[in-house]
Amino acid sequence: MSNPLADMDKPDVIFCIGTNMTECHPVAATGIKRALANGAKLIVADPRHIVLADLADVYLPLRVGTDSALLLGMAHVIAREGLVDQAFMDARTTEGMAFLEHVERFPPEWAEEITGVPAADIEQAALWYGRAERGAIYYTLGVTEHICGVENVQGLCNLVLMTGNIGREGTGINPMRGQNNIQGAGDAGALPNNYPGFQPVTDPENQEKFEKLYGKKVDLENGITKVTALEMCGDQIRAMFIDGENTLVSDPDRAHCEKALRSLDFLVVADLFLTETAELADVVFPVAAWGEVDGTQTNTERRIQRLRAAVPSPGVARPDWWVISALAKRMGFQGFEYEGAEQVFNELCEVSPIYHGVDWDKVEEGAYQWPVPFDGHPGTPMLHSDEFVNGRGIFNLVEQRDPAETVDDDYPVWLTTGRRLASYHTRTQTGRSAGIDYLLSEESLEIHPDDVDEWGLADRSWAIMSSRRGSVRVRVKATKRSPRGTVFTTFSFADVPVNALTGGGYDPITQTAELKVCPVSVVPE
Amino acid sequence: MSDNIDGGGNGALSTMTLDGEDVGFTPGETVYEVSERYRREIPTLCYDERLEPFGGCRLCIVEVEGSHNPVASCTTKAAPGMKVTTKSGRLDMHRRVLLELVASENRDLDVDPMSGYASGEMATLLDRYDARTGRFLGMQSGTSHPDDPNPFILRDYENCISCFRCVRVCAEQEGDYAISVMNRGFGTQITTEFDGILKDSACTFCGQCIQTCPTGALADLKALASKDVPGETKLTRTICPYCGVGCSVDLMTRGDQVVGVLPAMDGPANHGALCVKGQFAFDFIGHKDRLDTPLVRGDDGQLHPATWDDALDKAAAGLLAAVDNHGRHSLYVVASGRAPTEAAYMMQKFVRAGLGTSYIDNCSRA
């Protein structure tokens, strides 16, 4: 997030797109509700009539995979109505003129054709955001889990740059991170293209720096993403070590994923439970859970916070850092002598420019939001207040692109996937917490009541849903939260492995899977 | 119910007198907020600092010079030159009678502290003001909802004192408006829309109502299920393990067992708020399915328990065989977005320092 969570009740116009925040980030959503109580306007764009849509001043029910068209239509209106912040564009951006010309081609009527959202509503949303004193954008995976995820984010950046809604309290472009420490995992360098602190591996200076630190020359080329690695399993990739991920249930195209993991010569998994993925492993390491380990995690607003052990682990389960370093030592790797999480964290701070000034003892107070470039630095709650990291903000001339797969006679229905309030991902944790079953005991496929009738189904009946890759049997739930022609489910329940269906395409830049769009057929069992 | 006797002061002075001491204040502050800042002990029951002042319980009364009757400090704005007394025999007498009135409605004065964050507030005040007299025994308001089968929130309205903190936290803090008030006087009943069970209401089971309730009328059923686990309850500050918001929580433990979660009111990302997962989905860590030993696949194709030594040897040999036979680019590692940052750092060091590759990713792409 460019801005802190504490800013969420401060905007006068809020634009939420592709974020089911009341279910996926419920505590953050309380900030938006407070902003509404203070009189803020809420624009919600989502294919499903989610709870946020109930609260919206204008709801934009776009067809799945048409975010770019919607954003281009909004940019057109902002430009046409003279709501551009010219001073901001002159001072802090580049390619602005080309962008303003570019969007002339995309009036709201054009966007209506593609998105299905009435042009008048696109117009209204654009006018509100364009006129905002403090306009803030919040988005989640609904924007990024597309083959055009990067372009969707660039489309949002274009709106921010043309209106100057950045670098001030209550504004900004704010992705809500989905997992407790997905931010920290990236910060720490668990990425194929970056050392800790997002230092590119392709930079020879970084190579040299880490050669000195680690005593090993690391390839100057980027590594490969997990998506590519799974493609190459059994071929170039012969062994894997997976820590704390139920890849088989959470990743797209389950059949492909299972075949890939089974084709490995050797698989090592570290986890809390014998997950579906761990069941395929040659060696399984038991790790300490939350509540049993000391360490840190970093939240969606870049706040570094302290995790503490309260109870011992079962049996001989050990913290992840211990397991990984023990294995490294056993393999003869150098530099893996550690006494505790604090020592590991301090080493990370030493090698990472964005954590460099972080003091373990002060992490206690949760006071640091990175970057914290030097000792005594207070942290940076808001990014981009004076300048962008790369100097000027660059407008991108994005266009609308179709999803990897589109509906046809065989697969006439759009499936979009997501999460629900009471369950978390593949339920390895929430599924084992007493009482959660009372709120959510089984998977269901949310279908508009008129479609339920038209497709020969009934509420709570069983349906077979198929894509080009696989089929699942799932219980039908009739609800107007789904629009006509679009159905919704989650990947929470192992007995309805919806990832057997998804995986039609990937963003060419980030290789993020298009989990939000998958053409399917839905028929009675 | 306005006690605002702000005498039209324009805030230019911004000093007032508190128990004879000159104190500064920020225009807009209430007398209660100023008194809190200067460490006066003013009792409250309907007050939750995260919510709008309500002025319902009247326990926070103070004397203001020029005003005949004591006023509620939570709804009275501080004004320049105002002279306030927070402690006197008269105030103590008023507060004691008010507490005795409140206590008359409340059958169970001793509440298990596992009930919720604020559940001991009333019992503590009754002791402080020696108000356990039964002087006003009589009618009661509120009917319990033992028929609500939800596994999280106890609804024992016989202990309700109509402070409306639950109603207000649900509306103001959560924006859910699931809890409402029915009837008035002794007929007052905290309830949901259509007086049904919580699951059929707008309730999201975030647990905020049980944490603000000062009497344990709304209480944490999951924590109470462990009230007979021996040992003192210990609190450990940590961060919720679910989404990326990073809510601060205090884990409640007894011995080696996690028995509940309290929201951290000073958590920088949540200020006391939680959702159903952070509040109630904690007991997976003690689940019987937890792996408690390494497992190694044997010649029979099955996974068998092994020692760390054997498992590490087997894993190291298996991974090194791939590297030896197919090169260092044949080994790939996946770091967790759920484990601590130290785990992710160690994983990237594993491939970079160990193999000189960046053959690593985390679960952010799917």
Instruction: Summarize pLDDT for A282-337 with one digit per residue, the tens.
Output: 999 999 999 999 999 999 999 999 999 999 999 999 999 999 999 999 999 999 99
**Three-class SS string for A423-471?**
CCCCCCCHHHCCCHHHHCCCCCEEECHHHHHHCCCCCCCEEEEECCCCE
User: Is B11's pLDDT higher than 60?
Assistant: no
Closest Cβ–Cβ partner in A299, A434, A512 for B222: A434
Strands B360-362 and B15-18: unpaired
Question: Is the pLDDT confidence value at B336 over 50?
Answer: yes
Residues A287, A433: one domain? no
Q: Of the residues A324, A347, A363, which one is the last residue of a structural domain?
A: A363
A112 and A243 inside one domain: no
Task: Quote the minimal CA–CA distance from B125 to chain A in Å.
Answer: 31
pLDDT range class, residue B10, cuts 50, 70, 90: very low
- The rounded distance, in Å, linking the Cα atoms of B15 and A239 is 71
State how far the Cα of A518 lies from the Cα of A503, in Å rounded to an integer: 8
Neighbouring C-beta atoms of residue A217, cutoff 10 Å: 12
Q: How far is B223 from chain A (nearest CA, A)?
A: 11
State CA B144 to chain mean position distance.
23
pTM of the model: 0.94
pLDDT > 60? residue B44: yes
Structure tokens at A125: 């949303």
Kindly list the domain boundaries of chain B, sorted by start residue. 15-87, 108-224, 234-286, 295-365
- Among partner residues B318, B335, B354, which is closest to A333 by beta-carbon distance? B354
- Least CB-CB distance to B312: which of A185, A306, A326? A326
User: Quick one: closest CA in A to B366, which residue?
Assistant: A251
Q: How many domains does chain A have?
A: 3
Residues A99, A396: Cα–Cα separation, whole Å:
7
Q: Do residues A270 and A136 share a domain?
A: no
- Across the interface, do A296 and B341 touch by the CB < 8 Å criterion? yes
Q: How far is CA A100 from CA A86, A93, A150, A161, in A?
A: 11, 13, 20, 11
Inspect the interface and report whether the beta carbons of A285 and B311 lie closer than 8 Å: yes
- For residue A12 the two structure tokens come to 């006068």
Residue A388 resides in a domain: no
CATH architecture, domain defined by B108-224: 2-Layer Sandwich (3.30)
| Averaged pLDDT for residues B279-305 | 97
Within a 10 A sphere around the Cβ of B85, how many other Cβ atoms?
Answer: 17
Is a pLDDT exceeding 80 seen at residue A215? yes
- Inter-chain contact B340–A334, Cβ cutoff 8 Å? no
pLDDT above 90 for A455: yes
Using the predicted structure, report yes or no on whether residue B97 has a pLDDT greater than 60: yes
Domain contains A492: yes
The average pLDDT across B342-362 equals 98
Q: Is residue A394 part of a domain?
A: no
Task: Look at residue B315 in the predicted model and tell me its pLDDT.
Answer: 98
A201 to chain B, closest Cα gap in Å: 8
**Residue A491's domain spans which residues?**
413-524
Dihedral (CA of B137, B97, B143, B157) sign: negative
The better pLDDT of the pair A7, B135 is held by A7
* Residue A251 shares a structural domain with residue A348: yes
Does pLDDT of A114 surpass 90? yes
Tokens of A8: 């969420």
Residues of chain B in contact with residue A316, where contact means CB-CB under 8 angstroms, are: 292-294, 308
Chain A CB contacts of B337 below 8 Å: 178-182, 185, 244-245
pLDDT for position B142: 61
Residue A406 lies in a domain: no
What is the rounded distance in angstroms from the CA atom of residue B314 to the CA atom of residue B95? Answer: 71
Q: What is the CATH number of domain B15-87?
A: 3.10.20.740
- Can you give the pLDDT at residue B364? 85
**Angle formed by the axes of helices A204-214 and B341-355, nearest 10°:** 90
Position B366 scores a pLDDT of 67
Interface contact flag, B343 A328, Cβ < 8 Å: no
Q: How confident is the model at residue B129 (pLDDT cuts 50, 70, 90)?
A: very high
Task: Provide the ipTM.
Answer: 0.96
| Mean pLDDT computed over every residue of chain A | 96
Which candidate from B206, B268, B285 shows the least CB-CB separation from A292? B285
Report the alpha-carbon distance of residue B162 to residue B149 in Å, rounded.
Answer: 23
Query: To probe the interface with B, which of A50, A235, A331 has the most B CB atoms within 10 Å?
Result: A331
Task: Tell me how close the Cα of B2 comes to any Cα of chain A, in angstroms.
Answer: 22
Which fold is adopted by the domain B234-286?
A: N-terminal domain of TfIIb (2.20.25)
- For residue B43, give how far its alpha carbon lies from the nearest alpha carbon of chain A (Å): 28
Task: Say whether A180 and B242 touch across the interface (CB within 8 A).
Answer: yes
pLDDT in tens, B180-239: 887 777 677 788 877 789 999 999 999 999 999 999 999 999 999 999 999 999 999 999
Residue A353 sits in a domain of what CATH number?
3.40.50.740
Q: Distances from the Cα of B17 to the Cαs of B21, B53, B60, B86, B226, in angstroms?
A: 5, 22, 17, 11, 48
Q: Please tell me which of the candidates B234, B275, B352 has its beta carbon nearest to residue A210.
A: B352
Check residue B8 and give its pLDDT: 41
Instruction: Determine the Cα angle at A21 with ends A17 and A27, to 5°.
Output: 145
